[in-house]
Amino acid sequence: MSKKEYNPGYQGAIAETLDCALQAYPRITVIRVDLHFPMMDEYGDMPNCFPNTEGSPITRFMNSLNAKLKHDQHRKIGQGIRVYPNRLRYIWVKELVDGYLPHYHCALIFNKDAYYHLGDYDLNIPSLRTMITTAWYSALQLELDPIIDTGPLVHYPENCRYCLNREALSFSDDYNTVIERLNYLAKEYSKHYSSNYRTIGYSQY
């Protein structure tokens, strides 16, 4: 199968989710992130090192991230920092290339007025990167040491952040650039369709 073949239904879901976010907020931030499961030899054979792959890890990830975003807003209010409304919107796809564990490609969409900077790799600092990374480890029930660990199971691709402003003169070109980038999630290559599990999920609002 060609790596350049795309699922039109997935492409439609991507555009619909992006448009929904732009209807809610005039400026949005889009973050591309990949979520991986660990190989067992990376963690040894200690019982507390095995990831929880039962049920739906991606659902647990989204729930954890939403909880962290809510906590972050309360933290900022307590510190007298102005907060802006933000509803997380997302698209994820499940893929399997080699091995027995899948991985997820995700696009996370935020109100740009609320979240603009991803932040650096210091997980001691309350940043968007920290919340995303720790949410995945929480979903897998794996411990993450913020002092020495940068969260290798969470990969941020090169040029992983895009911003759209629907009032900008360059909006049409910028929008097409983001759609083109996110269409990577719709590629047919490495998709394993099954009636037993979903291979795509996206926010329904």
CA dihedral 110, 115, 119, 123 (to 10 degrees): -80
Per-block average pLDDT, block size 10, for the chain (205 residues)? Answer: 78 97 98 89 52 85 98 96 97 83 94 95 91 96 76 93 97 98 88 71 89
Domain-located, residue 3: no
Domain-located, residue 1: no
* pLDDT at site 1: 46
| pTM for this entry | 0.90
Domain-located, residue 95: yes
Residue 113, Cβ neighbours under 10 Å: how many? 16
Domain-located, residue 48: yes
* pLDDT at site 145: 75
Q: What is the pLDDT of residues 36-73, one digit of tens each?
A: 998 765 445 544 457 777 779 999 999 999 999 999 99
**How is 112-159 classified by DSSP, letter by letter?**
TTT------S-TTS--HHHHHHHHHHHHHT----TTT---TTEE--TT
Please count the structural domains in the chain: 1
Domain around 198: 8-202
Structural tokens at position 88: 């997380």
* pLDDT at site 41: 53
Domain-located, residue 58: yes
8-state DSSP, 37:
P
Domain-located, residue 142: yes
- Which of 71-87 are b and which e, b meaning 16 or more Cβ less than 10 Å from the residue's Cβ? ebbeeeeeeeeeeeebb
* pLDDT at site 195: 55
